[in-house]
Amino acid sequence: MSTEARKPPTQIALRIRRVLGGKAGWNGVAVQFAFAAILGWIAYEIVSNARANLENQHIAAGFGFLRNNAGFDVNQTLIPYTGSDTFLRVFVVGLLNTIIVSVIGIVFSTVLGFIVALCRLSPNWLLSRVGEIYVELIRNLPLLFQILFWYLAVLAALPNPRQSISLLGLAFISNRGLVVPSPIGEPGLTPFLVMLGLGIIGSLALRSYSRRALFQRGQVIRIWPYVLSLLVGLPLAAMLAFGVPFIFELPQLKGFNFAGGSRIIPEFVALTLALSTYTAAFIAEIVRAGILSVHKGQMEAGASLGLSRGTTLRLIVVPQAMRVIVPPLTNQYLNLTKNSSLAVAIGYPDLVSVFAGTSLSQTGQAIEIIAMTMGVYLLISLVTSAIMSVYGWRISRSLGA
């Protein structure tokens, strides 16, 4: 006597259940429908309310306003801009200003962060205390507080342009900002840049060739003399052949202000200072944690293989520390970019300040403008996190996990 095999459940129903409810089954389907209904209801409320409110305020929805004349000036522009340009151009100007302050802030904060991290790791007791004080002080004060401090208190306390502080006679700091020599292109600029580019490409090619030779044939090729000659020699030859690529125009004090040179507005100086010192404190902690995360046996193993201290650091410790450092470091870069939006508090013309601030108050197109502004930041952070997940995937692959 044998029991009959149970029939498998109907596959189509199972599949439908799976598609609609995931692993949670019919319960999941019910919850999903309820959730979708609530979301739909909220969306309906938002859209109908927004439409009614916009009608009451006589504002036309849509992105047509971007082609209207802006009619206000911006005190720092990387591309030519006048008051008669469109709001779209204002958007681009603001975006470029955001990018420039972020990039410069990232460079400075990385340098300062590594220095502070080295201070904190130093065997010297006093220096490590100094690093610790710096980190604790900076991390426990709000960024906006620091920006306002630099802008309102420190920069405003600087002397006026006539008594400005001179740095080697090249740059001048005053309460009107920083005046630096500005480079002016000469006819020799184009060949110089071309040769520089060729040099960079050539050295990259050399590097990949030598690495392949090392990995496949075990052959060690010394490439640094060639790289040096490529990077320095080619542009130098171009300079000799076509003349000086650019000259610096030095700022001169004339009357009450400076003539010549380029002026960096005080808002930019304050924002860069605050952003880089603030982020440097966080970067210092990340770098310190990364270096401490490498087991000290690694260093000893390197020494027992006969590697010098520098080689051990370069080939064994730093690559392993970098694996721990890079993801949170990128996060800090992202934070710095997002924090640069605090520029609005001191009037530096970044994206939020000129677009979500001035343009919004002039046009009243709140929905479109804020959506665009948020979209830009969202795009930056999503792209960065996508790159980071690729990086994480490569790391885990190279670990052979």
Partner 1 sequence: MTDITASSFVRQDLVGERPAPVKTTGFVGLLRTRLFNSPTNILLTIVGALLLWFTIVPSVRFLLVDAVWTGNDRTACIGENAAGACWPYIQAKFPQLMYGFYPEAERWRVNLTFFLAAALLLPLLIPRLPAKGLNAGLFFFAFPVVAFFLLRGGGITGFGLSWTAGLLQLFDDSILNAGGALLNLSKSSAIGPLLWIIGQLIVLIGTAIQWLIFPLTGLRDQLQGTGQSVWADFAITTVVVSLIAFFLGGGIRSGWRALASSIATFAAIAIVIKLMGLDHGGFPIVETSLWGGLLVTLVVSVTGIVTSLPIGIALALGRRSTIPLIRIFSIAFIEFWRGVPLITVLFFATYMLPLFLPGNFSVDGLVRALIGIALFTGAYQAENVRGGLAAIPRGQGEAAAALGLSWWKTTSLIVLPQALRHVIPNLVNSFISLFKDTSLVSIVALFDLLGSLRASFADPKWSTPTTLFTGFAFAGIIYFIFCFGMSRYSLFVERRLNAHRRN
Which residues here bind partner 1, judged by CB under 8 A? 21-24, 28, 31-32, 35-36, 39, 41, 44-46, 48-50, 52-54, 56, 122-127, 129-130, 136-137, 139-145, 148-149, 152-153, 156-157, 338-339, 341-342, 344-345, 352, 356, 360, 366-367, 370, 373-374, 377-378, 380-382
CB of 7 to partner 1, least distance (A): 26
CB of 36 to partner 1, least distance (A): 6
CB of 334 to partner 1, least distance (A): 9
What is the four-CA torsion angle of 34, 37, 39, 44, rounded to 10 degrees? -160
Helix axes 318-339, 87-121, angle to 10 degrees: 140
Burial label for 328, CB within 10 Å (0-12, 13-18, 19+), is: middle
| Closer of 48 and 190 to partner 1 (Cβ) | 48
CB of 125 to partner 1, least distance (A): 4
| Closer of 226 and 377 to partner 1 (Cβ) | 377
CB of 87 to partner 1, least distance (A): 16
- What are phi and psi for residue 146, nearest 5 degrees? -70, -40
Token digits of residue 154: 């420190």
CB of 114 to partner 1, least distance (A): 16
| Closer of 272 and 339 to partner 1 (Cβ) | 339
Compute the distance between CA of residue 256 and CA of residue 175 in angstroms, rounded to an integer: 12
CB of 315 to partner 1, least distance (A): 24
| Closer of 236 and 374 to partner 1 (Cβ) | 374
| Closer of 88 and 366 to partner 1 (Cβ) | 366
Q: Mind spelling out the 3-state secondary structure of the chain?
A: CCCCCCCCCCHHHHHHHHHHHHHHHHHHHHHHHHHHHHHHHHHHHHHHHHHHHHHHHCCCCCCHHHHCECCCCCCCCCCCCCCCCEHHHHHHHHHHHHHHHHHHHHHHHHHHHHHHHHHHHCCCHHHHHHHHHHHHHHHCCCHHHHHHHHHHHHHCCCCCHHHCEEECCCEEEECCEEEECEEEECCCHHHHHHHHHHHHHHHHHHHHHHHHHHHHHCCCCCCHHHHHHHHHHHHHHHHHHHCCCEEEECCEEECCEEECCEEECHHHHHHHHHHHHHHHHHHHHHHHHHHHHCCHHHHHHHHHCCCCHHHHHHHHHHHHHHHHHHHHHHHHHHHHHHHHHHHHHCCCCCHHHHHHHHHHHHHCCHHHHHHHHHHHHHHHHHHHHHHHHHHHHHHHHHCCC
| Closer of 148 and 307 to partner 1 (Cβ) | 148
| Closer of 20 and 250 to partner 1 (Cβ) | 20
CB of 24 to partner 1, least distance (A): 5
| Closer of 88 and 130 to partner 1 (Cβ) | 130
| Closer of 73 and 136 to partner 1 (Cβ) | 136
CB of 363 to partner 1, least distance (A): 11
CB of 122 to partner 1, least distance (A): 7
| Closer of 210 and 365 to partner 1 (Cβ) | 365
Compute the distance between CA of residue 212 and CA of residue 206 in angstroms, rounded to an integer: 10
